[in-house]
Structure 1
Amino acid sequence: MKLSARNQFAGTILEVHKGATTTHVRIEIAPGIVFTASITNEAAEELGLKQGGKAYAVVKASDVMVGVE
């Protein structure tokens, strides 16, 4: 797999939770460090995502917001 995004994190799928229109996927990239992604149900099915499977969390963002109390 080749992508232009430089932020690619290999990990293990902890959970795949299918909702009405979107699926939430939790990927652990290191002990205690988890990415959560919301993707379409169709994409989740096409990728064949299953708990315990290997996947990449790919981050491509043009903005990062920071907030404080």
Structure 2
Amino acid sequence: MKFSARNQVKGTVKSIQTGAVNTEVVIVVAPGVELVSIITKNSAESLGLAVGKEAYAIVKASNVMVAVD
């Protein structure tokens, strides 16, 4: 699997909340660090997502904001 997106983070699916159209997927990428994504229900089913399964969070964005206190 190759992607042009540079921000690829491997983790483990922590939870899946399936709705009528969309599914919320929480991926643990490090102890105490979680990424949350909303994808279509069909995509979640097609990927075969399940709690405990490894998955990648791939971020493709033209802008990423950075802030400090």
Query: How much is the aligned-residue C-alpha RMSD, in angstroms?
Result: 1.4
Q: Percent identity?
A: 53
For structure 2, the residue ranges without an aligned partner over 5 or more in a row are none
Please give the TM-score of this superposition, normalised by the length of structure 1.
0.91
Instruction: Return the letter of the residue paired with 1:63.
Output: N
Map of 2:31 onto structure 1: 31
Please give the TM-score of this superposition, normalised by the length of structure 2.
0.91
SS of the aligned residue for 1:62 comes to: coil
Give the count of matched residue pairs: 68
Map of 1:60 onto structure 2: 60
Map of 1:6 onto structure 2: 6
What's the CA shift string for 1:31-62, capped at 9, x where partnerless? 01000000000000000000000000001111
SS of the aligned residue for 2:43 comes to: helix
Q: Which runs of 4+ in 1 moved over 2 A?
A: 64-68
Map of 1:21 onto structure 2: 21
Distance in 2, Cα, partners of 1:8 & 1:19: 26
Q: CA deviation at 1:64?
A: 2.6
Distance in 1, Cα, partners of 2:66 & 2:27: 23
